[in-house]
Amino acid sequence: MKWLDLPLTHSAMGQIHLPGSKSISNRVLLLSALAEGITDISNLLESDDTERMLEALKILGVTIEHSNAGRYIVTGCAGDFPVKSARLFLGNAGTAFRPLTAVLALMRGHYYLTGVPRMHERPVGDLVDALRQIGAAITYLGQERFPPLEIHPADIHPADISVNGNISSQFLSGLLMALPLTGQPVTISVNGVLISQPYIALTIAQMAHFGVQVERASWQRFTLPGSQVYRSPATIAVEGDASSASYFLAAGAIAGGPVRVVGVGQDSYQGDVRFVEALEAMGAHIRIGDTWIETSGSHESGSRGLKAIDFDCNHIPDAAMTLAVTALFAQGTTTLRNIASWRVKETDRIAAMSTELRKLGAQVESGDDFLRVTPPDGSLVPNAAIDTYDDHRMAMCFSLASFGVSVRINDPLCVAKTFPDYFEKFAEITR
């Protein structure tokens, strides 16, 4: 499908059962594969990113059975992948590429890790630097500090290491998940500011489910005490995806609501549940239960019933994109701060977001790490053709423009990265 035309929609209302969290799914798959014992996983996300992880683990010799939708049974390999030589294609899945790099560097095997062309523009050098501190032998097959990578068998000498924290938290997450495999005590220090910190909390929580503890004095220093092994928790249910929830929650805030998402709630492990704090600051009404979140707002679609905000988005890098499009329905200028990491994700998201918001008539200012969005004086420009840059979140965010104007989404199938049936679900809440 080359494009999808979304007609002007007057209101949003209904209930959506969320697909499983991408971030939890790929962590749980990897930890199940590394654990002793069999793990019965339910509500696993079925999308391109999790498919890349599943495929890679199977190539590495892990037995994974698929029984019914979202249910996977993984027989763990007790810390050592049986296959010692493999080529892995990891698409554009950061949650597969970065953690697998760290784990495979310790496996005394010979591995090639590649991805789509955009993955080869997404940095991995800080992670490789950290792994080289303990003896890992990794070479860059293309541009220095970027995938594709070749990992050679190496003698690992566990020692205290440091890693940069300001490009992607996935480097630290990868190290945290991999280093218990050495069995030795190791302390990881983070150089500079750690971005996307809730994803580190998520990593530590998932490791704890598999019996491995991380000691943490601050968000700059993490100790793995040594002599710990991953043990299967037997069964594990993946929470709904809080980033995927953001589109529906924004819809409820923009176009009346109530819109309820089911699958995440007040005790969620995912940082993106805090997106609702931004919506609340914009004037939306929020209700949260144990396993659901509901939003409602002004009942006149496209009426700019919301208030502009100035928001630090460091802790919600993915849901922050939803905020940029929600800003079209707020009075005044919304500023999103601390979003420098957007530049090295599926596309340069600051550039892409600026270009596409302007097509709708918004005034946009941007810098290295911020975006400022002012809606047009009158209505949004109708029938804009929004380019999506092979970025699932660009496609999903801009569906929200249809609450103000009819809009065309180019290459809508890019949502397959994390939410293959997004547009069907979106249609369920529009009236």
Ligand X SMILES: C=C(OP(=O)(O)O)C(=O)O
Is 341 annotated as ligand-binding? no
Q: Which strands make up the sheet holding 292-296, listed edge to edge?
A: 12-17, 256-262, 292-296, 285-288
| Residue 93 site contact among ligand X, ligand S3P, none (CB < 5 to 8 Å, cut-off depends on kind) | ligand X
- Candidate residues 345, 359, 372, 408; the one interacting with ligand X per rule CB under 6 A: 345
What is the rounded distance in angstroms from the CA atom of residue 19 to the CA atom of residue 43? 7
Decide: is 95 part of the binding site for ligand X (CB under 6 A). yes
Is 246 annotated as ligand-binding? no
Catalytic position from the list 48, 126, 129, 318: 318
CA distances for 430 relative to 76, 252, 287, 288, angstroms: 43, 10, 20, 22
Q: Which is nearer to ligand X, 115 or 305 (CB)?
A: 115
Is 349 annotated as ligand-binding? yes
Contact positions with ligand S3P (CB under 6 A) in 7-26: 23
| Residue 173 site contact among ligand X, ligand S3P, none (CB < 5 to 8 Å, cut-off depends on kind) | ligand S3P
What is the rounded distance in angstroms from the CA atom of residue 303 to the CA atom of residue 254? 8
Q: Which is nearer to ligand X, 32 or 92 (CB)?
A: 92
Contact yes or no for 104/113 (Cβ under 8 A) = yes
Q: Which is nearer to ligand S3P, 36 or 51 (CB)?
A: 51
Contact yes or no for 210/178 (Cβ under 8 A) = no
Decide: is 126 part of the binding site for ligand X (CB under 6 A). no
Interface size with ligand X, residues (CB under 6 A): 9
The piece of 90-98, 106-114, 232-240, 255-263 that touches ligand X (CB under 6 A) is: 90-98
Decide: is 115 part of the binding site for ligand X (CB under 6 A). no
- Candidate residues 25, 43, 92, 203; the one interacting with ligand X per rule CB under 6 A: 92
Residue 425's φ and ψ, nearest 5 degrees, are -65, -40
CB of residue 44 to ligand S3P, shortest distance in Å: 14
DSSP string, 98-141: HHHHHHHTTTTSEEEEE--TTGGGS--HHHHHHHHTTT-EEEES
| Neighbour-count burial of 216, counting CB atoms closer than 10 A to its CB (0-12 exposed, 13-18 middle, 19+ buried) | middle
| Residue 418 site contact among ligand X, ligand S3P, none (CB < 5 to 8 Å, cut-off depends on kind) | ligand X
421 noted as active-site residue: no
The piece of 68-76, 165-173, 216-224, 363-371 that touches ligand S3P (CB under 6 A) is: 165-173
CB of residue 431 to ligand X, shortest distance in Å: 28
> Beta strands 370-374 and 334-337: pairing type?
antiparallel
- Candidate residues 52, 359, 393, 425; the one interacting with ligand X per rule CB under 6 A: 393
Kindly give, in sequence order, each residue whose CB lies less than 8 Å from that of residue 367, ignoring residues fewer than 6 positions away: none
What is the rounded distance in angstroms from the CA atom of residue 257 to the CA atom of residue 430? 10
Kindly give, in sequence order, each residue whose CB lies less than 8 Å from that of residue 96, ignoring residues fewer than 6 positions away: 26, 49, 52, 53, 56, 90
Contact yes or no for 247/396 (Cβ under 8 A) = yes
- Candidate residues 6, 190, 195, 380; the one interacting with ligand S3P per rule CB under 6 A: 195
Is 307 annotated as ligand-binding? no
Contact positions with ligand S3P (CB under 6 A) in 53-72: none
What is the rounded distance in angstroms from the CA atom of residue 66 to the CA atom of residue 11? 38
| Residue 169 site contact among ligand S3P, ligand X, none (CB < 5 to 8 Å, cut-off depends on kind) | ligand S3P
| Residue 314 site contact among ligand S3P, ligand X, none (CB < 5 to 8 Å, cut-off depends on kind) | none
User: What single letter denotes the amino acid at residue 379?
Assistant: S
- Candidate residues 93, 107, 264, 316; the one interacting with ligand X per rule CB under 6 A: 93
Q: Which is nearer to ligand S3P, 321 or 364 (CB)?
A: 321
Contact positions with ligand X (CB under 6 A) in 401-420: 418
Decide: is 341 part of the binding site for ligand S3P (CB under 6 A). yes
Among 379, 313, 362, 364, smallest CA distance to 342 is for: 313
User: What single letter denotes the amino acid at residue 405?
Assistant: V
Q: Which residues are catalytic?
A: 318
Catalog residues that contact ligand X under the rule CB under 6 A.
92-95, 318, 345-346, 393, 418
Binding-site positions for phosphoenolpyruvate: 22, 94, 122, 170, 349, 393, 417
Catalog residues that contact ligand S3P under the rule CB under 6 A.
23, 94-95, 168-170, 173, 195-196, 199, 317-318, 341
